[in-house]
Structure 1
Amino acid sequence: MKRSTPVTGAPCWAELGTSGMPAAQTFYSTVFGWRMETDPRDEAGGYTMARLGDAAVAALTPLYQPDQPTAWTVSFAVNDVAATAAAVTEAGGSLITGPMDVFEEGRFAVVSDPEGAVFSLWQARRFAGAELLNAPGALGWAELLTRDPAQAKRFYPEVFGWSVRSSEQYTQWGIGGEDFGGMAKMDERFPPEVPAHWMPYFEVTDVDMTARAATGAGGGVLMEPMDVPDGPRIAVLHDPGRAAFGVHAMGSGRG
């Protein structure tokens, strides 16, 4: 059975940084049915929680740095953010921001792997992360796109203790006996200026219908809906700010 709440070492949150907050809020509300809840505190900087019912499933934020791209960031749950950030740098990655506190909610850092793929570390206090996972409209998979899979296979198990299951076509990451994400090699279809990156996949009930909804709401399709052999139906979409994200069919996994 797929996990419905975060566990240490696995993805626990997805957060969109965008320069077009109003358009992004409208887009994701239309596509996923998310209800937006903006933190009214000035010091929160416009941080907006996306909810399905009462469950927090993701967040949207303004861009906080001049050079910050419009993009989704995946966060991984850790027990000690400072220790994990140190492990990242020891394994050849980089510390970008933090560690720092987020009110009473938790502690985080933004880091990157040796190739520059950015991700976040989250040490929970009052807030553990997504209150719903592996359900329609919620985070269901996290995928690393990289030009150096061999390096990634060394780095992430060293930092997080992940298991690795590889075939010629795809690599799957796991923890505690369950796969939660994967890795795909970036080929000539990716322009040279596109960096290595993590991309969230959100579960949906109908991939094709979601792709049409995204296009109708001002986004578009980067990879047309397709069936993965012995796996789910998937697509890669983008929002009005060109931030990429994946969707996969309800109840499916990549195992």
Structure 2
Amino acid sequence: MPTRTGYKPGVPCWVDLASTDLTASVAFYEALFGWRAAFDTCGEAGVYGRFSQGGRLVAGIGPTFSPDRPSAWNTYFATGDAESATERVKEAGGRVAVGPVQVFDEGTMAVFQDPEGASFLVWEPVRHQGAQLVDEPVALCWSELVCRDPEGARAFYGEVFGWSARSLTGPGGGDRAEWLLDGRPVAGLRAMNGVPSPPGRGTPSLGERVAPSPGGAPSVPEAGTRSVPEAGTPPVPDRGAPSVPDRGAPSVPDRGAPCSPDAPHWLAVFAVAGCEATAVLAERCGGAVVSPPRDLPAGRHAVLADPCGAVFAVMAPSPPGGARPALPSSGESGPPLNGQIAPRG
């Protein structure tokens, strides 16, 4: 897939990890996905890193605000105007946690909580446009809101992003829906029916990290293309501790109170070639399986946690034209996973 250079407002455009242990997190994701990490110092903002795959940006990583904050993945949505997005959040009944704030010459961000407390961010790009690789193995392929009040969420996000929602049916559909923007799926919605916490982990929460400095495409060594390991793959050999700079003492706004394991949250989903094999490898690398692999309308899906307790999901998507009964045709050879396959304005 060509390098992505932009996103339509309202589409998930970036994810980053707030980590309590940068070294452990980098080692885990490099082993699990084959990513490579590069860090910059950001003055008073501490440090911020970018994961790449094949030289293209896939996600960010930075320290949590303080050592007592849990690790978590954060989801960003593109916007053309962070100020107006902030006003819409307020009018719709959400909370503004941070911003809007300008992040150097990269863009403007704001951190919000919806009426149920799920954290999410918007990104108004300048130099940094977002993830350069999506919808391919070991890249972001989907974002899903897990909440207790789907009807309230439909109303709130409809006002903020102009989304509509379409309920899913068929095997694995359950209490799930898709968010649609201009008739195309951009994210998911799932009713919370008891979300298990990672065994032996701390409490995960979303949106609990320092204000990022995503940065443009860094000079990252070419990582090549790495396929997802198949079942029976031996443990990944230790490559030594990654080069992670001292986190320093960031002087940026807090992102709000941490949430409990069963609190509403946005879940980042990464595409993989094999769901079971990835889950096995995650455990071998020190992570945990929160929800074991199972079939959903869009593919084989599992929820995992990294060694620091940050929760994320992986999915082996069903092939285009394959077993995806809940996703009507969008005029292409099977609908896109998150509305990011077709070119955007």
**TM-score normalized with structure 2 length:** 0.69
Question: Hey, what does 2:97 align to over in structure 1?
Answer: 96
- One-letter code aligned to 1:102: V
Question: Counterparts of 1:20 and 1:6 in 2: how far apart (Å)?
Answer: 31
Question: Counterparts of 1:174 and 1:222 in 2: how far apart (Å)?
Answer: 28
Question: Counterparts of 2:91 and 2:196 in 1: how far apart (Å)?
Answer: 29
Q: Any gaps of 5 or more consecutive residues in structure 2?
A: 169-173, 198-258, 328-345
Question: Hey, what does 1:239 align to over in structure 2?
Answer: 306
Worse overlay, 176-185 or 197-206: 176-185
Q: Which structure's residues are more often helix, by fraction?
A: 1
Matches within 5 A, 1:71-220: 71-167=72-168, 169-190=175-196, 193=260, 194-220=262-288
Higher relative contact order (CA 8 A, sep 6+): 2
Identical pairs, percent: 40
Change beyond 3 A, Cα 1:251–1:7: farther
- One-letter code aligned to 1:219: G
- One-letter code aligned to 2:303: V
- One-letter code aligned to 2:269: Y
Shift of 1:213: 1.0
Larger radius of gyration: 2
Q: Which structure's residues are more often strand, by fraction?
A: 1
The answer to whether the 8 Å contact 1:71/1:243 transfers is yes
The answer to whether the 8 Å contact 1:136/1:250 transfers is no
Question: Hey, what does 1:227 align to over in structure 2?
Answer: 295
- One-letter code aligned to 1:22: T
CA RMSD of aligned residues (A): 2.1
Shift of 1:42: 3.0
Query: 1:164-196 deviations in whole A, cap 9, x for unaligned?
Result: 101453111121332121111112345793311
The answer to whether the 8 Å contact 1:9/1:160 transfers is yes
- One-letter code aligned to 2:272: V
Q: Any gaps of 5 or more consecutive residues in structure 1?
A: none
Question: Counterparts of 1:14 and 1:60 in 2: how far apart (Å)?
Answer: 9
The answer to whether the 8 Å contact 1:236/1:246 transfers is yes
The answer to whether the 8 Å contact 1:27/1:217 transfers is yes
Question: Counterparts of 2:122 and 2:302 in 1: how far apart (Å)?
Answer: 27
Change beyond 3 A, Cα 1:174–1:20: same
Change beyond 3 A, Cα 1:48–1:189: closer
2:292 is paired with a residue whose SS is: strand
| Residue-pair matches, total | 253
- One-letter code aligned to 1:237: L
Change beyond 3 A, Cα 1:223–1:45: same
